[in-house]
Amino acid sequence: MSRLDSFIRRLKAQRACLDLAAHLVRELDGDVLELGLGNGRTYDHLRHLFPDRKIYVCERRVAAHPDCVPPAELLLLGDMRDTLRAACGLLGRRVALAHLDPATGEGVASRALAAELALLIVPLLRPGAVLVSEPAIDQLGLTPLPLPESVAPGRYNLYRYVSCRSSA
Amino acid sequence: MSRLDSFIRRLKAQRACLDLAAHLVRELDGDVLELGLGNGRTYDHLRHLFPDRKIYVCERRVAAHPDCVPPAELLLLGDMRDTLRAACGLLGRRVALAHLDPATGEGVASRALAAELALLIVPLLRPGAVLVSEPAIDQLGLTPLPLPESVAPGRYNLYRYVSCRSSA
């Protein structure tokens, strides 16, 4: 399998998971949180899925296609470890869907970063919210959800947030 | 359709066209020419399709994944309009498959560049060679070929090079 093959497979898995997640949270009010803007393609997909919700985007520095730059008031600029901490007041317990794809490659460093970010994302989620994540996350309160049929286990990940209180 | 949708569609069209082109030139000796390395994903796909052929790559400046950097002797560094002219001695009439995807976006400038590059690519092609191109090219000696079934007309393009001499 070439890198082109695996890239296509990864993008299709991402899209299938986002589409399913959008369906899963259709009855749950709340905002959307995109961790990483990149070129803005996934953000644009989220805009199509959630035309009526606020989509907040964390990014260190905007380098997206001009058509895919979020409005300034929804853009949380800086290191995600800082902006997510600061976003608690703005977004705490208001996010219905979050998408984490730090795209730092595979391996130990990427998983460590994902775990660190997950700790900061969970306090922003509403009970019942869905987290779509490329790296797997092992985090209290996040329950793995079945993937779309087209997505092989581990290629992408879906979690439902069940607050510790409601699961107790 | 989101930008994510159209990107996936474009990558799948590219892959389907390259796969078909590889099949079409299986009986034709000659080198492979990739116009633009980018992140190296398509180059990696070409390596999988043509494990036994030389794959020359034109690129202004290498910024690919380290695993996808061509050997120095097959890398033609610089502005393609210069390197293609200079490559005539090295590659003239020896290329069996060329892939052109300048990825400069859509529009007039992109088509003008493609037309300019096509003029420089044609002298490198063997009669019977296949040119796979994202932008459409209207160039003497290049005959459009049917696309793979999965690819909508105009999304990607395949041409067979028939030399002016042999078609006369």
pLDDT in tens, B73-112: 999 999 999 999 999 888 989 999 999 987 666 677 777 8
Report which DSSP code applies to A156. B
Contact A99/B at CB under 8 A: no
Q: Which residues contact A74 (CB under 8 A, 6 or more apart)?
A: A54, A55, A56, A57
Whether residue A2 and residue B68 make contact (CB cut-off 8 A), yes or no, is no
- The CA-CA-CA angle for residues B31, B36, B38, to 5°, reads 125
* Å between B116 CA and nearest CA of chain A: 26
Contact B36/A at CB under 8 A: no
Residues of chain B falling short of pLDDT 50: 166-168
Chain A positions touching B65 (Cβ under 8 A) are 3
Within chain A, residue ranges assigned H as helices are 3-24, 41-49, 80-86, 88-91, 108-121, 164-167
* Å between B41 CA and nearest CA of chain A: 5
* B3: three-class secondary structure by DSSP: helix
Count other C-beta atoms under 10 Å from residue B163's C-beta. 15
Contact B44/A at CB under 8 A: yes
Whether residue B44 and residue A8 make contact (CB cut-off 8 A), yes or no, is no
Contact B11/A at CB under 8 A: yes
Weakest mean pLDDT among A44-58, A104-118, A149-163: A104-118
Whole-prediction pTM value? 0.90
Contact B150/A at CB under 8 A: no
Q: For residues B10 and A14, what is the distance between their CA atoms, to the nearest angstrom?
A: 16
pLDDT in tens, A55-113: 999 999 999 999 999 999 999 999 999 999 999 888 989 999 999 987 666 667 777 88
Whether residue A40 and residue B3 make contact (CB cut-off 8 A), yes or no, is yes
Contact A41/B at CB under 8 A: yes
Q: For residues A33 and A29, what is the distance between their CA atoms, to the nearest angstrom?
A: 13
